[in-house]
Structure 1
Amino acid sequence: MKHLIHICFGIVFFAGHAQDKAKAIDVSVIASVVIPKHYLISKTSENITVDGKASELSWENADFTDYFIDIEGVIDPKYKTKTKMLWDDQYLYVYAELSEPHIWGTLKQRDTIIYYNNDFEVFIDPSQTGIGYGEIEINALNTVWDLYLNKPYRIGGHANFEWNLNELKSAIQIHGSLNNPNDIDSLWTAEMAIPLKPLIALKNRPKSVPKEGEQWRINFSRVQWDHDIIDGEYYRKKEDGKFSHEHNWVWSNQKVINMHEPEKWGILQFTEKSTAQGVPYIKDEDLLIKQTAFALFRKTRYKNLKYLLDEQQGNKKELNVTMSKDNSVKAIFHKTLFGFEYKIKSPITDITYIINQEGTLKKL
């Protein structure tokens, strides 16, 4: 009997030990993690005339971003796009140059869905939370669509078309001709003065003008359509009676055809100096950890870790997460009453982060 007890205990111990080992799930997020680009924006004391020319000395001293890339980061865009920024106590200024051999536009009504034309788009999240952000789109006719999203579409967000930036100033310059298919154009430029007051309202506290070193999230997108010329007019290209897919080109890589993953947007850092040269970028030591948390959220809610949602409430799973070629971290999945959450402890700062089924990231 004694030997039988030992045997049974051994079987139970072995089974329990095997079960513990089985709880660890190996997962890689390398392909989906994005380390955003950053831009240091200098403060201007000049009176900026919004004319699409950006001829002021402050503009000349401001650096352009890198050229835009394909939204999935796979192919090189057909045409070049770049932008630069300035700010003062009233406005965030954006200037963009878009190379284009055929400049055209048809939409003239404000708050029309502008991306049905070739357009330039700005996405701004002053709170850096991905909750409550603004979007501005503009075409070569200087037609604007400005809207507010309470949260991303992926978690049930709604667009508010009534959110109008009434003090927005914008201008377009055409280097070539507009809506004339009989010649080859060079580029078009877009310049905006985006009022700071409604953007400050989207910040967490303090709701004040940006201070030295303050960071927001921002990204830019260019939507480009292939076109047909019919009876001397431009139309979006159709194949088998359906519009061809548009091209999407961005500043900071999204890795998917979806601008509404705001955790991937670039980082905008404010300086009160007249030039950003010599101003150090304030690096977030836990940026990779945070981006890994978002990647786990996306994988669990929408992709190959979705099976974890079938776990019983209260169940936990340990994950061994490969974040990059040289970095890995442990994460704990917890099935909750409302969905799920992950806990990840940073090996750099010892801070524990929690992200839930809504993509809300917090420090523990």
Structure 2
Amino acid sequence: MPPLITREEALELGALTDPKDIEALVERAWAARVEHFGDSTDMCSLVNAKSGGCAEDCGFCAQSRFAEAETPMHAMMEPEQILEHAKAAEAAGAHRFCMVTQGQGLSKRDFDKLLEGARLVSQNTNLKRCASIGHMSVARATQLKEAGIQRVHHNVETSRSYYDEVTTTVRYEGRLRTIDAVKQAGLETCVGGILNLGETREQRVEMAFELAEINPTSVPINLLNPRAGTKFGDREYMDPWEAVQWVAIFRLILPDALFRLCGGRTENLGELQPLAIKAGVNGVMMGNFLTTLGNTPEQDREMFEDLGLNIERQDDNGTNPRPDNRSGWLEGATPDPVGAYLDAATPAGPVDLEVRLWDPSAQLRFAKKRRVPPRPDGAPNRVPAQTGN
């Protein structure tokens, strides 16, 4: 569907500063969201399946080897560990589950582990399945689809004109080739970016219209959470009203895309998170992010329910990657495997039921990088020295 506003209108809306004007913009975005999606939602959760030591120089990311920042460090998870994460996400109320790894791509061994993890999630949960594993060919995208992946995430991060300020080792054109390969394999696409990297108002509008040309199924919006030791680590948080404003503008430019708020939303939005949801969001990344903490699942569910939105999973979540944008989507009930088990158990005897949730302390470790090479673009990437009084 074409944008509901022009570039000129988007720039005018981006210049608003009065909260009352922004609230009026939010109402406009809310109307567009309700028209296309009703009260449906699409709640995500992720697993950081391979973390730390990334060879790329993305200026926002603590996992980069060029960043002097502490970050979780672990090799590729085993398929069974991925499944445990998925079961925990399902128990928390997520509709979909994304398997994320660092870097531009995976070795054959790590890719095979991810494929097997995807198969286990497909076979043992009712979650929609996504993957975010860097660049890939049509052949690899096809393998993901055959293993049960339904949507692939690959951000453009920012506008084309500002892109070289964000990374010099990952090319913008390469990102577009990966997105095209995903489409050729018959998979849905999840493509978004990060706001507050130092881009201008014009470049934000540019990115939104570039996304409209890509026409992804899903658009994740991240708000920079500045990490000390990264290129953008000295930036201030985004003004909450400004963040809400741009969520609404992006919604009006991409009216039929599934929108979700992801990294940095708790730090940047604070108490305005519910207003950002009303600005056109379909879902959020529930729980924690790749290297930082988020809301509790209970808080996330409450934000959507307070707006009259339906957060229940449907019986066919696992088979339909986008069931919330079709007629009759409300039919069905949320699966309750634990309740079904208890109903079938013998009342007179004890119930032998074990629920295993993944324990991060048994897998993750935060490690300070021993050697941090200079960034290819010469930008500083050091944690500021502490000075005494």
Work out whether the TM-score is over 0.5.
no
Q: TM-score range by the shorter chain?
A: under 0.3
Choose 1 or 2 for highest CA Rg.
1
TM-score (structure 2 length as normaliser): 0.22
Higher helix share: 2
Higher strand share: 1
TM-score (structure 1 length as normaliser): 0.23
Higher RCO structure (Cα 8 Å, ≥6 apart): 2
